[in-house]
Amino acid sequence: MSANEYRGPLSQEESATFDRNVIDYVQRAAATGLYEIRGLGAKRKLPHFDDLLLLGASLSRYPLEGYREKCTTRTVLGTRYASKPLELDIPITVAGMSFGALSANVKEALGRAATETGTSTTTGDGGMTDEERNASKHLVYQCLPSRYGFNPDDVRRADAIEIVIGQGAKPGGGGMLLGQKVNPRVAKMRTLPAGVDQRSASRHPDWTGPDDLAIKIRELREITDWQKPIYVKVGATRVFHDVKLAVHSGADVVVVDGMQGGTAATQTVFIEHVGIPTLAAVRQAVDALEDLNMTGQVQLIVSGGIRSGADIAKALAMGADAVSIGQGMLFALGCNSSSYMRAGQHIDAQADYAALGTRPGYCHHCHTGRCPVGVTTQDALLEQRLEVETGARRVRNYLKTLTMELTTLARACGKQDVHHLEREDLVALTVEAAAMAGVPLAGTDWIPGR
């Protein structure tokens, strides 16, 4: 039989180097000459909190009665210098997301839910809206490189100020909001022409480096009469050094955002290839605070892919004082759902996903402004798909669920306060996670590299 006569099965051998996704990437680049921009966070599989386990109490530890004994969740942020630190009921905060990326309805819904659950929400790269200020008992006001809408009146009416150095989805990169989301109101707040593709700076306009940052923080303290906590947020890269520099600069609170953190619009190559996983970032941040003997004086907030009460319990056990959640809040609001709610009825949105070239569960098209469920849009019709009341209820339920899961796990570990969770309560499932988190591989006392 000659080679030409062979009629075996078709080859199904896919290249590991050039798989279908890579081929699609190359062909898209060849067709357009542009990189891909998308929303949400890293989609690649990374070491995460799922790779840790909590050690419940047994003979050597004493558990709390799960349904009877109290486990407190009160969390105070900004105790170092601020005369009015934030006193929250739970250690779960709402991350900074801009009006512009999100609709005004969403910002209001997040504010209402945060207020009802006793926690804080955060502005974003677009200034403060009256809707979110009025809805939020505790509102953190971001000071970003772009300074869009940044003004002293809002500085004074904020409850804390967060100086954003970077975010986990794109440490080292500036913000981005494509023209289709820059409607007249967004444009006015950002002092931009409506409809332009907005490119934000990656560096602050009036300071350079940690020595300057210390002076900038003191300016904000002077403007606010030393009342409000000053947070410094960094995207997770060289976390050990960055946290130390933030503390030296005078931060009350350091926010560390791992690479699973979300974005409204960023280059895919940036999202997937820059930064370090949240799990590794927490360990480095805690090490930095311990190295400076600042544990308890400077609070640590961790963000980037926090999803469940288990994630929160593990982050707290590793040494975080609180977590911050962005994408989880969007999913709670209905992001990637097949339908949206109107007057109590589910309205199917799958055709709108299809029009974007995606489907529920896979959508990351926040950058288009065509969100099928009205969450990440500025379109006057689409934004009505997210009713404030419905959104607030769903986010409140999510926050309550997270809190119940967190306290359940903490009680199982014998803690009367979720902040009593400790590193000793953790083990790792994988060698990688053990090395990153600095906890022993399960069933051993081995911490790689330590």
Partner 1 sequence: MSTPYRDFDLAQHSLRELNHYLHHEVKQAAGTPVRVFNPDGAHSIACGVDTAVQIDVMGHAGYYVGGMNQHAQITVHGNASTGAGENMMSGLVRIKGFASTSAGASAHGGCLIIEGDASLRCGISLKGGDIVVGGSVGSFSAFMAQAGRLVICGDAGDALGDSLYEAIIYVRGEVKSLGADARFEPMLPEDHAAVTQLLTVAGFTHPSSEFRKVASARGLYHWNADANQEY
Which residues of this protein are in contact with partner 1, per CB under 8 A? 32-34, 146-147, 150-152, 155-156, 178-179, 190-193, 196-197, 199, 201, 205-208, 212, 215-216, 218-219, 222-226
Query: Pairing between strand 299-303 and 86-88?
Result: unpaired
CB-nearer residue toward partner 1: 154 or 352: 154
CB of 17 to partner 1, least distance (A): 26
CB-nearer residue toward partner 1: 180 or 339: 180
CB 158 within 8 A of CB 138: no
CB of 363 to partner 1, least distance (A): 21
CB of 197 to partner 1, least distance (A): 5
CB 379 within 8 A of CB 370: yes
DSSP string, 406-427: HHHHHHHTT-SBGGG--GGGEE
CB of 95 to partner 1, least distance (A): 24
Torsion region of 87: left, alpha or beta (phi above 0 gives left; psi -120 to 50 gives alpha): beta
CB-nearer residue toward partner 1: 195 or 448: 195
CB of 171 to partner 1, least distance (A): 18
User: Could you give the count of Cα atoms lying within 13 Å of 349 in the half-sphere of its Cβ?
Assistant: 27
DSSP string, 196-209: --EE--SS-SS--H
Question: Quick count: other Cβ atoms within 10 Å of Cβ 53?
Answer: 17
Six-digit token string for 374: 């009205």
CB-nearer residue toward partner 1: 197 or 379: 197
CB of 69 to partner 1, least distance (A): 46
Q: How far is the C-alpha of 91 from the C-alpha of 384, rounded, in Å?
A: 31
CB of 152 to partner 1, least distance (A): 4
Return the ∠ at Cα 187 (arms to 185 and 188), rounded to 5°: 65
CB-nearer residue toward partner 1: 194 or 431: 194
Contacts of 44 (CB under 8 A, 6+ apart): 272
CB-nearer residue toward partner 1: 274 or 399: 274
Q: How far is the C-alpha of 167 from the C-alpha of 262, rounded, in Å?
A: 8
Exposure b/e, 5-38, CB count within 10 A at least 16 = b: eeeeeeeeeeeeeeeeeeeebeeeeeeeeeeebb
CB 300 within 8 A of CB 285: yes
CB of 192 to partner 1, least distance (A): 6
CB-nearer residue toward partner 1: 267 or 284: 267
Of 72, 136, 84, 81, nearest in space to 106 by CA: 136
CB-nearer residue toward partner 1: 29 or 404: 29
CB-nearer residue toward partner 1: 86 or 217: 217
Amino acid in the structure at residue 327: Q
Q: How far is the C-alpha of 376 from the C-alpha of 392, rounded, in Å?
A: 15
Question: Quick count: other Cβ atoms within 10 Å of Cβ 226?
Answer: 14
CB of 155 to partner 1, least distance (A): 7
CB 35 within 8 A of CB 267: yes
- Tell me which DSSP letter residue 265 carries: S
CB of 196 to partner 1, least distance (A): 4
Q: How far is the C-alpha of 242 from the C-alpha of 224, rounded, in Å?
A: 25
CB-nearer residue toward partner 1: 188 or 359: 188
CB-nearer residue toward partner 1: 178 or 302: 178
CB-nearer residue toward partner 1: 147 or 423: 147
CB of 205 to partner 1, least distance (A): 4
Determine the distance from the C-alpha atom of residue 165 to the mean position of all C-alpha atoms in its chain, rounded to a whole number: 14
Question: Quick count: other Cβ atoms within 10 Å of Cβ 255?
Answer: 33
CB of 223 to partner 1, least distance (A): 3
DSSP string, 120-134: EEE-BTTB--HHHHH
